[in-house]
Structure 1
Amino acid sequence: MQPAVYVMANKRNGTLYTGVTSNLPQRAWQHREGAVDGFTRRYGCKMLVWYETAPTMEAAILREKQIKAGSRAKKIALIVGFNPGWNDLYDSIAQG
C-alpha cells in the first residue's frame, strides 16, 4: 500500500490527531468506527481532514515527526491549504 501521513479531527478547528500508516483507507475507517482504543476514540477524532502520501514509510515517518513538532497554527494552516472547508475526506479515499 501507499505510505501516508494524515490528520484526523473531531470538528472544524477542533482536536487534531496526526498519524502515519501504510493503508490510509483502512486506518481512517478504524478511527471513524472507534475500532482502536486511544486518543482518537477518546476525543472523537473521526474526520479525515488532511493527508499526504509519501514514497516510502521512512519518508512518511519523517514528515509525521515534522508535522507533530510544528505548532497547532501550522497544522491548521496545512489543513486549510489542502481542505479549506474542513470536509471529511474519507469517502474520496475509500472509493479510490
Structure 2
Amino acid sequence: MTKETRDEEFWEITDKFIELANEQCDKHKNGKVSTSILFSAARFNSFMYASTAKNLEDFAKDKELAVEFLTQEYRKVLMENLNDYEKNYKDYLENK
C-alpha cells in the first residue's frame, strides 16, 4: 500500500513515531531504539487486542488468531519498506 492510498491522519501519526525514534537515535544506539519500538508495538497491540475481548475466555481462545494476523501484517509492511529502501537506496542512504 502506498502513501497515497492511506489517509493523512495515518501518516501524521506514523511520522510522529518516526520523528520520536529519530530523536531517540541521537541519544541512544539505533539497535536499542529499534528494539524498543518493536517491544512498544507488541505491548500496545496486546493491549488493543485485550481491550476488545469480551472476557478472558474469548481473549485466550482467539489469541493465536491475533498473533497470526499481526505477524502477517508486520511481515507485509516490513517487506514493503525493505523493497522501498532497496529501490531507493542511493537516494535514502548514500547521500547522507
Query: What's the TM-score once normalised by structure 2's chain length?
Result: 0.27
Q: Which has the higher helix share?
A: 2
Q: Which has the higher strand share?
A: 1
Query: What's the TM-score once normalised by structure 1's chain length?
Result: 0.27
Q: Identify the structure with bigger relative contact order (alpha carbons < 8 Å, sequence gap 6+).
A: 1
Which of 1 and 2 has greater Rg? Answer: 2
